[in-house]
Amino acid sequence: MFALARLVVIGFIALSIIYVCLSLYSRAVRRSKLKAEWNEDSDGDRDAFIDAGLAEYDGSLRRKLILGVYVVPAVIVALIIYLTNFA
């Protein structure tokens, strides 16, 4: 059980680092896209436009899909265990 605990703990830490990096990167990409959009047809307050766009992003499915960073490896591990030992 110690080996399993080690895998889970180290895996969770590694995936959390990837999750945080990916979240920050994805938000930064969205922010620059919003800036580019505002520059094309500028109407109203720039900061308000970007804040509104980011608020919309925060509730979006796209952002929740980043949780796949945790889900996909767990599914792959379960699949490998099945294929190696029981298939």
Partner 1 sequence: MVYIKWFFIIVFWVFVAAFFHYTLPQKDIVRVTDTENRRIDFGENSIFWASPDAGNAGVAANRDVFFIQTVRENGSVMVYRNEDTGWGWPPYFKFDTSNLQAEAADLKSTSEAPKWALITHYGWRNEFFTIFPNAISITPMENPDVGKPIPWVNIVILIVFAAIFWAIYVRWRRFRQRRLDPTFEEWQGNIEAAGDAVAERRGRFRRWLGTWRA
Binding of partner 1 by 28 (CB under 8 A)? no
Identify the three-state secondary structure at position 42. coil
* Alpha-carbon torsion angle 28, 65, 20, 25, nearest 10: -20
Using CB under 8 A as the binding criterion, the count of chain residues that bind partner 1 stands at 12
Binding of partner 1 by 39 (CB under 8 A)? no
Segment near partner 1 (CB under 8 A); pick from 33-41, 54-62, 64-72, 78-86:
78-86
State which residue, 6 or 33, has the beta carbon closest to partner 1: 6
The least distance separating partner 1 from the CB of residue 4, rounded to whole angstroms, comes to 5
Could you write out the DSSP letters of every residue in 55-83? HHHHTSHHHHGGGHHHHHHHHHHHHHHHH
What sign does the dihedral 28-29-34-35 (CA atoms) show? positive
Binding of partner 1 by 36 (CB under 8 A)? no
Interface residues toward partner 1, by CB under 8 A: 2-4, 6-7, 25, 77, 80-81, 84-86
